Structure 1
Amino acid sequence: MNVHAPVESESDERSLVILAVLALLVGGVAGVVGALFRLALQQADRLRDLVVVWAQGRALLGFLIVVLLCALAALVARWMVRRFSPHASGSGIPHVEAVLRGEAPPAPFILLPVKFVGGCLAIGAGLALGREGPSVQMGAVIGHLTGGAFRRSWADCRALLAAGAGAGLATAFNAPMAGAVFVLEELVQKFEQRIALAALAASSTAIAVAHLLLGDSPDFLLPPLDYPPPVIGPLFFIMGAAMGFFGVLYNRFLLATLSAFERLRLPGEAKAALTGAAVGALAWFSPRLVGGGDGLTLAALAGWQDIFILPFVLSLRFGLGGASYAAGAPGGLFAPMLALGAQAGLFFGVAFGLLLPGVDIQPQAFAVVGMTAFFTGVVRAPLTGIVLVTEMTGGVTMLLPMLAACFTAMLAPTLLGSAPIYESLRDRLAPATSKN
């Protein structure tokens, strides 16, 4: 662990002011990096779609080209991780949490280009990974390096690291309050005044800078939703409990997939290439089903209601998410989780509408609430989930149903003794790192 000593003793007030100023700086830099990462991912997704459209007109040759390109992109992403920065594997959030707890050393500067380029390659290849994990970890590295450059104490470096991570999440989803809440609820799991101040400062400047590059519209524009009538209130409790069990299943499947990939006697690059090839084959047949899942989330929030297709899409994305994460390339879990939650919530909304034809049910409302409930069941961070989805959709009419669903989504896995996903991944971090 790198410990930085201040140049001279400082008063608490002066130290706090310096921390606040540095947090504003960290947020601005993290906002630029996060916004550029989002723009690069948008271009990578467009390029993949263009290649698939071109290849679909060339029969078997086109199919092979798409499969080989996706396999190569995943392979290079995994090679960059192994060769230059093992900490860049996967989401990066478990590593950030381990650093904040003093269980792992901070990542060096090299993680930034590896996470940026590797994330573009992996997510651009169509792996079901999210942009938020790389953004959070890159923001954390920026925060720690800034603290070190200004010779701050470890306490200040830790606060800046956490603040940079929150700024990364804020930029990834255009959700500044969610970034700050995420720092306190998930990363440090307690209220620390200096970290709270730094997180708010960093998230505010990150979003201010990101808006200049990305615009200020919410990520998901919803059709107008009515306040749900009281008669359907119990349905949100029921769906929340189901989402809690679904979250337990998701966590166990993800961990089992990671273990299965570790048992494969193949180099890491070969595993990533095989995963990329499988994703490429799927992309050739159905481009909408690959990638982070934003398109699927938008479709669910718009009320796409084929109840016979939804279970198939859910199952496929469920398996694809586990395999993509186990490949070891840079990429997060949030965006795929939100897509699964929206689809599952829409399924519940359509099913409830068919079972209760006399009740006014908007399936899209269940899609919105499903995002928060499934996130809560997996991560066990309900406040982050509620604030995140509210900011991403720009609507507050679902706040009460979200609270109800998150209550039972939190209760079910807690009673089952299932650990939150990032706690489980953090426990695996040391042995996984030693193998790279």
Structure 2
Amino acid sequence: AFNAPGAGAIFVLEELVGRFEARTVCSALGASVAAILVARAMLGGNPDFMVSVAPTVINVSTQLLFLLTGLVIGVLSVLYNRTVLTTLRFAEGFPVGVEMRAALIGALAGVVVWLTPHLAGGGDWLTQSAIDGAVTWSVIPWLFVLRLALGALSYAAATPGGLFAPMLALGALAGLGCGDIAHALEPRLAGDTVPFVIVGMAAMFAGSVRAPLTGIILVTEMTNATSLLLPLLSGSFAAMLVADGMQEPPIYESLRNRAAVAKR
């Protein structure tokens, strides 16, 4: 789905299984290879997002900016998790059936789609716009809040859907905002905002899901930005440090616990 076979296999091992055993590794890698060969034969092998990243000069000062970006996005990843869980609790306590709940949320989403079509869906358009630097800094907070609210509401509808793409879109917006601020404060160190957007995507995933290897590989495969490994590591480390320090459980662990309690 994301044209990222490595991330698919690593996600199974890092998040779902939680251990690296030879048999499981072979199964996950074999399944990912088979799926991606079929998908690329039908759709081609271009990455999901078109990125032009110049070789990034990594020095102590530049690396500090990516570390600070990860710290900020770590706080936002905790906000994301808590917003999703709080919205789920509110929706489940609403005195209507699940069908009516989905209809009401769908009607609200329909209004948003009618007014601003590009803000609907998983968020790929927003992510690509952030990479291209086509989002002005003044609207980034409003877009972030709107996408955060709509994403949580959509997930609370209890209809088929996921968290990956909306999470990456929020990370891209937050990364762009951090890049704009860094560029305004010290243009010589910050350089282009594209690396900040890509680091923001991986950091949001690492802070929310606590699967940093999956996040780094996923973002690298989706953007083909192979020169940003060190910034990705720094941003993901900082985001996980903040999320753990705030004692926020990983989002999928929280969702599994909710499902287990509901079955009792």
Query: How big is the shift at 1:226?
Result: 2.6
Cα contact 2:69–2:178 (8 A) shared by 1: yes
Give the whole-Å Cα distance in 2 for the aligned partners of 1:228 and 1:194. Answer: 40
Aligned length: 263
Residues 80-110 of structure 1: per-residue CA shift (max 9 Å, x gap): xxxxxxxxxxxxxxxxxxxxxxxxxxxxxxx
* Aligned match for 1:370, one of 200, 204, 208: 200
**Per the alignment, do residues 411 and 276 of structure 1 end up closer, same or farther by CA in structure 2, a change over 3 Å counting?**
same
* Aligned match for 1:214, one of 28, 43, 63: 43
Give the whole-Å Cα distance in 1 for the aligned partners of 2:18 and 2:215. Answer: 15
Query: How big is the shift at 1:204?
Result: 0.6
Does structure 1 residue 205 correspond to structure 2 residue 34? yes
Alignment partner, residue 261 of structure 1: 91
Query: How big is the shift at 1:296?
Result: 0.6
Does structure 1 residue 278 correspond to structure 2 residue 108? yes
Query: How big is the shift at 1:359?
Result: 3.2
Counterpart of 1:241, as a letter, is: L
Residues 51-78 of structure 1: per-residue CA shift (max 9 Å, x gap): xxxxxxxxxxxxxxxxxxxxxxxxxxxx
Cα contact 2:205–2:215 (8 A) shared by 1: yes
Cα contact 1:305–1:350 (8 A) shared by 2: no
Alignment partner, residue 24 of structure 1: none
* Aligned match for 1:414, one of 227, 244, 247: 244
Does structure 1 residue 242 correspond to structure 2 residue 47? no
Please, which runs of 5 or more residues in structure 2 have no aligned partner?
A: none
Highest Rg: 1 or 2?
Answer: 1
Does structure 1 residue 397 correspond to structure 2 residue 234? no
Alignment partner, residue 330 of structure 1: 160
Aligned counterparts, 1:143-158, within 5 A: none
Cα contact 1:225–1:365 (8 A) shared by 2: no
Alignment partner, residue 38 of structure 1: none
Root mean square deviation of aligned Cα: 1.2
For the residue of structure 1 that corresponds to 2:41, the secondary structure is helix
* Aligned match for 1:423, one of 240, 248, 253: 253
For the residue of structure 2 that corresponds to 1:397, the secondary structure is helix
Give the whole-Å Cα distance in 2 for the aligned partners of 1:229 and 1:376. Answer: 21
**TM-score, normalization: structure 1?**
0.59
Alignment partner, residue 189 of structure 2: 359
* Aligned match for 2:25, one of 193, 196, 208: 196
Give the whole-Å Cα distance in 1 for the aligned partners of 2:48 and 2:246. Answer: 34
Query: How big is the shift at 1:343?
Result: 0.8
Give the whole-Å Cα distance in 2 for the aligned partners of 1:183 and 1:177. Answer: 10
Give the whole-Å Cα distance in 1 for the aligned partners of 2:190 and 2:244. Answer: 32
Give the whole-Å Cα distance in 2 for the aligned partners of 1:359 and 1:205. Answer: 43
Give the whole-Å Cα distance in 2 for the aligned partners of 1:248 and 1:361. Answer: 28
**TM-score, normalization: structure 2?**
0.96
Query: How big is the shift at 1:305?
Result: 4.0
For the residue of structure 2 that corresponds to 1:277, the secondary structure is helix
Cα contact 2:140–2:173 (8 A) shared by 1: yes
**Per the alignment, do residues 328 and 367 of structure 1 end up closer, same or farther by CA in structure 2, a change over 3 Å counting?**
same
Mean Cα deviation higher: 237-246 or 372-381: 237-246
Question: Runs of 4 or more off by more than 3 Å in structure 1?
Answer: 357-360, 430-434
Give the whole-Å Cα distance in 1 for the aligned partners of 2:30 and 2:189. Answer: 45
Alignment partner, residue 72 of structure 1: none
Give the whole-Å Cα distance in 2 for the aligned partners of 1:430 and 1:187. Answer: 16
Alignment partner, residue 8 of structure 1: none
Give the whole-Å Cα distance in 2 for the aligned partners of 1:205 and 1:242. Answer: 38
Aligned counterparts, 1:37-436, within 5 A: 172-230=1-59, 231-432=61-262
Give the whole-Å Cα distance in 1 for the aligned partners of 2:214 and 2:189. Answer: 31
Counterpart of 1:382, as a letter, is: P
Cα contact 1:175–1:388 (8 A) shared by 2: yes
Give the whole-Å Cα distance in 2 for the aligned partners of 1:247 and 1:312. Answer: 17
